[in-house]
Amino acid sequence: MEQPKAPKNKKPNFKFNLYWIYSIIAFTMFGLFIFSPNTSVKDENWSKFEELARSNSFSKITVYSNKKMLEATLFDSSASKVFSKDELANGAKERQIKVSIPSADKFNDQVQIWKKETNFHADITYKEDNDFMNSFLWSFGPLILIAIVWFYFMRRMSGQGGAGGGVFNVGKAKAQIFDKASVNKTTFKDVAGLSEAKQEVEEIVEFLRNPSKFTELGGKIPKGALLIGPPGTGKTLLAKAVAGEADVPFFSLSGSDFVEMFVGVGASRVRDLFRQAKEKAPCIIFIDEIDAVGRARGKNPSMGGNDERENTLNQLLTEMDGFGTNSGIIVMAATNRVDILDKALLRAGRFDRQINVDLPDINDRKAIFGVHLRPIKIDESVNIEFLARQTPGFSGADIANVCNEAALIAARGGKSFVEKQDFTDAVDRIVGGLEKKTKITTEEERTAISIHESGHATLSWFLEHASPLIKVTIVPRGRALGAAWYLPEERQITTKEQMLDEMCATLGGRAAEELFLGRISTGAINDLERVSKQAYAMIAYYGMSDKLPNLCYYDSTGQEYAFTKPYSENTAQQIDKEVSDMISQQYNRAKEMLTKYKDGHASLTKILLEKEVIFKEDLEKLFGERAWKSRTEEILIQDEAKEKAKLTLESESESSPEETKTL
């Protein structure tokens, strides 16, 4: 491994700045104003000049022979012959007149006559006026002005990305560098859960801190690690923690930072990044959202001959495992589209390790809540276990959002602590959008919405595999006019029966409208979209159709079927038929079930119209206890029972502390 190089003597960094030009111009103007001779000048004709000359009114005369003009300075006593009273009051030291002359020789002849005829005795000087500056400005001024404007705009354009402004710096990498001295460090303590991923990256930090531990046994230090996972799961956070923990410089930039409108810039930025990194090795380079440059080559529909992104990727591939050695540099990258990355980028030797950062499970969610609740003043009613159970499918970013939203809701309510209800409201808001109590709905619409939502609620109560309901509301939220909350079970695999039950419950809204209202409405669009997509996925992707069994037309790389379908026209028709058959079967099933439970549905609609929100408990009162309980529900019930027992115990201990001991 390369040893870290001694820091080079840094050259003082004098950067050209446009404000310098502004200051120089301002100073020059100020200087001219202060130091320019304080002189009043007036243009006069020859007759007037001759008259003044004959009366000996001038102290000195300067003749500019090349310009065929002269400047004559008046005696103070003669100034009033030319300047008015007001003009004389301006306090100028000298007063001059400017006159055009036929030529210097003719003027000289005239002077001789005046000297003979009058007592004219002004000092006369003959000069060639040096007009270089004037002519230079006239010839080159516009060019200079254009150059300044062009330079200014190019700086603005190329400097937008932050560091390394200037048109000549476009090829420089714009990486942000963190090192030991950086403040606001993120550490592994700030990353909750993700234990496997954390272990892998901790090992990378260990490689850099203590390489001999691994190399002594003949092992090689990995060249790269790719963090893969859905959005908001903490990939960037994990990388930041590596930056905070590793005692080595950390270069961070985003995949899109390589891309610029100029051809060849991406590749040169990659080269520059690795050159900078080599100077500081051992170090880590982190490229966030690497899919911006790492997309598979050769599949570009633009068909351009010289694809800038491909050049950038080629350069990246070369730098990561090319002919030159880049020892001591570990490249970390993050993406949520690993399927579209170029295969060459993923091979061992470039990204040796692929670290999956998945959506957190219940224990991870508990830990993440633990991190984000730290700065929040919470009430005793808040139970992390409960919060983690209420948020299946939430990412770390969603959880951070829930905590923040709950604090904002509590602050809006003027509370001094954030309560359990605030968290529940925050979850509702994030799932369903903002409550819009002021949205105007007619009585007829409210009835339709109640019938629709009760349809969902009734079916999910009586279908074994449908997600258990938590609450239903007809208060508009976000863009929806009503909403139902379910507690989905956290499954790793889903069976056909489970999917069909969910489909049937989703169709319950439209089925109820048709059965009990006699007409259907646009309100079911979201349900229909979900159901259609799910049915298509079941048939074309999961091979769950009887007529087209075990066939999968899914392309996990996302590249094969960009323009064409992988099946024949005949199969396409079969797929369409199967999808519509599946949906209509479930729709009929929904209608049958709703007919069977129509009384319950009618009562539910009535309660919903009255109360606007109904909970699981109301359904239990109406339909009796649900016959099936999901695993998540069972655990939740056990937790609630435990909490109740704890509360009773605490209240007993408060009344008679001795009793607790005996318990």
Contacting residue, 224, 232, 482, 600, with ligand ATP by CB under 6 A: 232
Stretch that binds ligand ATP, among 4-12, 188-196, 200-208, 242-250 (CB under 6 A): 188-196
Contacts with ligand ATP, 398-417, as mask; x by CB under 6 A: --x-----------------
Stretch that binds ligand ATP, among 38-46, 229-237, 273-281, 319-327 (CB under 6 A): 229-237
231 belongs to the binding site for ligand ATP (CB under 6 A): yes
CB of 217 to ligand ATP, least distance (A): 32
Nearer to ligand ATP, 171 or 229 (CB): 229
Stretch that binds ligand ATP, among 232-240, 243-251, 324-332, 517-525 (CB under 6 A): 232-240
- Residue 661 CA to residue 663 CA, distance in Å, equals 5
CB of 520 to ligand ATP, least distance (A): 38
225 belongs to the binding site for ligand ATP (CB under 6 A): no
Contacting residue, 61, 170, 194, 636, with ligand ATP by CB under 6 A: 194
173 belongs to the binding site for ligand ATP (CB under 6 A): no
Nearer to ligand ATP, 252 or 424 (CB): 252
For ligand ATP (CB under 6 A), the number of binding residues is: 19
CB of 463 to ligand ATP, least distance (A): 34
Please give the residues from 381 up to 400 whose contact with ligand ATP meets the rule CB under 6 A: 396-397, 400
* Alpha-carbon torsion (542, 547, 551, 552), positive or negative: negative
Nearer to ligand ATP, 236 or 454 (CB): 236
CB 266 within 8 A of CB 316: no
Contacts with ligand ATP, 329-358, as mask; x by CB under 6 A: -----x-x----------------------
Catalytic residue list contains 453:
yes
Task: Say if strands 283-288 and 250-254 run parallel, antiparallel, or are unpaired.
Answer: parallel
CB of 238 to ligand ATP, least distance (A): 7
Could you list the beta-strand ranges (E) of 238-364. 250-254, 283-288, 329-335, 353-356
- Classify residue 263 by burial, with Cβ atoms within 10 Å: 0-12, 13-18, 19+: exposed
**Sheet of strand 94-100: strand arrangement:** 39-43, 94-100, 69-74, 58-64, 123-127
Residues 29-42 as b/e (b if ≥16 CB within 10 A, e otherwise) read eeeeeeeeeeebee
Nearer to ligand ATP, 97 or 334 (CB): 334
CB 57 within 8 A of CB 49: no
Helices 420-432 and 396-412 sit at what angle, rounded to 10 degrees? 120
365 belongs to the binding site for ligand ATP (CB under 6 A): no
* Alpha-carbon torsion (635, 638, 639, 640), positive or negative: positive
Nearer to ligand ATP, 70 or 237 (CB): 237
Maximum alpha-carbon separation in the chain: 140
Nearest alpha carbon to residue 251 among 182, 153, 299: 182
Triad 462, 466, 470: Cα angle to 5°? 85
CB of 201 to ligand ATP, least distance (A): 12
Which residue lies nearest ligand ATP, judged by its C-beta?
Answer: 396
Letter for the amino acid at 379?
Answer: D
294 belongs to the binding site for ligand ATP (CB under 6 A): no
Nearest alpha carbon to residue 165 among 15, 11, 12, 13: 15
Rg (CA), the chain: 42
255 belongs to the binding site for ligand ATP (CB under 6 A): no
> Please, where are the H alpha helices in 481-553?
496-512, 525-536
Q: Which of 453, 502, 578, 633 is catalytic?
A: 453
- Catalytic residue IDs: 453
Q: Tell me which residues touch ligand ATP (CB under 6 A).
A: 191-194, 229, 231-237, 334, 336, 368, 371, 396-397, 400
